[in-house]
Amino acid sequence: MTKAVKTNIIKRNGEEVVFDVSKIVNAIKKANKEVPPIHQMNKYQIQAVADNIANEVRISPHAVHVEDIQDMVETGIMEMRGFEVAQKYVRYRYKRNLARKSNTTDDGILALIDQANEEVKQENSNKNPVINSTQRDYMAGEVSKDLTRRVLLPEEIVNAHEQGIIHFHDSDYYAQKEHNCDLINLEDMLQNGTVISETMIEKPHSFFTACNVTTQIVAQVASNQYGGQSFTLSHLAPFVDISRQKLKKAVIKERTECGESLDEKIIDKVTESRLHEEIKSGIQTIQYQLITLMTCNGQAPFVTIFMYLDEVPEGQTRDDLSSIIREVLLQRMQGVKNEKGVWITPAFPKLIYVLDEDNISEDSKYWDLTVLAAKCTAKRMVPDYISAKKMKEYKNGDVYPCMGCRSFLTPDTVGLDPDHKHKYYGRFNQGVVTINLVDVACSSDGDIDRFWNILEERLELCHRALRCRHERLLGTVSDVAPILWQHGALARLKKGEVIDKLLFGNYSTISLGYAGLYEMCYRMTGKSHTDPEAKEFALSVMQKLNDKCGEWRAAENISYSVYGTPMESTTYKFAKCLQKRFGIIPGVTDKNYITNSYHVHVTEKIDAFTKLKFESDFQKLSPGGAISYVEVPNMQNNIPAVLSVMKFIYDNIMYAELNTKSDFCLQCGYDGEIEITENNNGKLIWKCPNCGNTNQDMMFVARRTCGYIGTQFWNQGRTQEIKDRVLHL
């Protein structure tokens, strides 16, 4: 008899289970009984088929899908000349497929509830799949994916998505008319009032109240979309002086009633002391509420806070903004306490600090803020950095935040604001479809002419898929999300009014994502794109993507843009699909992940400055969004080195981050780096180097995987990518 094979297979519901060869034997025996004795296979033939399949599964470099195993069974029976048996097996399989198609969601949902669906469990490293609210969202997502696959999308797009040729993002929200990510127009909502849950919220009369209202707005917005959102601290800055004047009146009144001196210096000193406490309380409210709030998606809001001094006028307001930024950095550097009372790194909100002339050198006015930002990055992995200098070059002289972790709006060249000023807050992204560039290269078999022809075909396929996203939003009535479309977050449309005008004319973007530029180059040239010859080819592909977006934009007045896809979980899916379609190609498909966007491969030895300079050429050709990073060791005792990287970012690249580690073992109290190792079955697991703890529930691990910090662990592909990363500094 065949020995047990310690290899996992993937069931239809996404669950990974240990391969059981006896199930193959039993399935063939059932089909065998259905044919006359003269046409039956003998027990040795049946066992031979099972043994051959067991061997194929054993030597496979990845977990084999159950559908592939059934294909092997059919082939194996035919090779034994059991034609009649094969016919019975095929008929039984066909009937089972029909039964499954009548309701494709049951198994997936049940596996989800039982926490057995590995694909969904680790799809998002910031969603805990055990929690009821998260499971409700995932259950709704399974229904949406089923409707999307069977009813809403053309078959060619569904097939391309399932084969990993393209990725149609967020199909779990596609059935509903929801958009991806946005920049909240917090200024409009705070200054002119808004409505939350049918309750009028008027202009706040203090900084603390403005902070409180902001967190409510963020939670409401997160519950009505599926992507990230950003707001800027500059929209809160005017409320500092409102509080200052209010506090000053109170101080004067108190001192008058007590018969104390009304000396202006004393009054101002007391006022500023109380104001500092209010700023501290307001920022604490934002930090703790955004971390502890849970939206209807079963997660904390995916929110980014933008810190740009020059977004407000020079003088008191800018100084007030610097005080807010300072408090945000101080509180984030401290972290938050976990259930054990240990200070840890929170995943949200993500912070972005803008480097500009007034904070980039030792003699600049706000240099102390930049030093504080460097210390915060060294300890907590945020903030990330935008160079105002480079962004102005790329974005028509404007500086503005990304929507969430990396998606950028196209520059406003006409003045979308009613006063014809450049407008960014209140704009949004319609959705993303990503092309697998590695599949294009592998499908061409390295032939350059075939490559360009296939790329043209695949881009048109992406275009049709993006049109589906756009057309799904057409006709959406503003009533579906009043906070977004009626009460200022994105617009102030009337009840019953459709959002269509916001989907054209550059008000919103729609993203052509791409992945695997490195592996594509390696397949076509045999070299990394860091090689000068391969770099030229890589840049020409990037230019092709931009040219196609420009062509579609000109024809349709829809703002298509090239986007460096984060690929948090899709990297694993694409890698598995490539291995299935093309086998193992060294340097191309031999890992369980493919490289994010244009990034230098994680295993390639390159220093931080060379990496950032190299990637800047590619980031410029990702106008719809991208971020570069450098992997660094613990830098808390080397802040000058962090500052040197920040200065380099300012001069050379628009948007970048420093990745370090921030881990904690709940079992022994170890606060160094939790390591990745293999267990006896070859699965990658996390292990405390101090006490040997491998229970994920008893450790806290924070890693940057997609622009945001992830804290709920990752699938095997992304875990391998994290393990393979080399330091750049």
Of 211, 405, 665, 688, catalytic = 405
Known catalytic membership, residue 298: no
Q: Residue 300 is inside which H or E element, if any?
A: none
Of 568, 615, 631, 721, catalytic = 568
CB contact set of 121 (below 8 Å; sequence gap of 6+):
112, 115, 129
For residue 264, the tally of other CB atoms under 10 A from its CB is 9
- Closest by CA to 2, choosing from 14, 17, 19, 16, is 19
Q: CA angle, corner 114, sides to 111 and 118, nearest 5?
A: 55
Sequential DSSP letters for 440-497: HHHHTTT-HHHHHHHHHHHHHHHHHHHHHHHHHHTT-BGGG-HHHHTSSSS--PPTT-
Of 429, 436, 596, 597, catalytic = 429
Of 407, 622, 659, 693, catalytic = 407
Give the C-alpha separation, 687 to 673, whole Å. 10
Give the C-alpha separation, 161 to 176, whole Å. 19
Of 139, 181, 542, 567, catalytic = 181
Residue 433, SS3 per DSSP: strand
- Reduced 3-state DSSP string for 550-608: HHHHHHHCCEEEEEECCCCCHHHHHHHHHHHHHCCCCCCCCCCCCCECCCCCCCCCCCH
596, β-bridge pairs:
515
Known catalytic membership, residue 563: yes
Q: Contact at 8 Å (CB) between 229 and 301?
A: yes
- Closest by CA to 71, choosing from 52, 84, 58, is 52
Of 353, 366, 518, 563, catalytic = 563
Sequential DSSP letters for 24-57: HHHHHHHHHHTS-GGGPPPHHHHHHHHHHHHHHH
Of 404, 516, 564, 707, catalytic = 707
The end-to-end CA distance of the chain, in Å, is: 54
Let me know how long the chain is.
Answer: 729
Known catalytic membership, residue 407: yes
Of 13, 144, 171, 180, catalytic = 180
Phi, then psi, of 332 in degrees rounded to 5: -70, -35
Known catalytic membership, residue 181: yes
229, β-bridge pairs:
182, 303
Strands 675-678 and 684-687, how do they pair? antiparallel
Instruction: Tell me the two tokens of residue 46.
Output: 């049946």
- Closest by CA to 628, choosing from 642, 608, 643, is 608
Known catalytic membership, residue 338: no
For residue 221, the tally of other CB atoms under 10 A from its CB is 22
Give the residue numbers annotated as catalytic, written as ranges. 180-181, 403, 405, 407, 429, 563, 568, 707
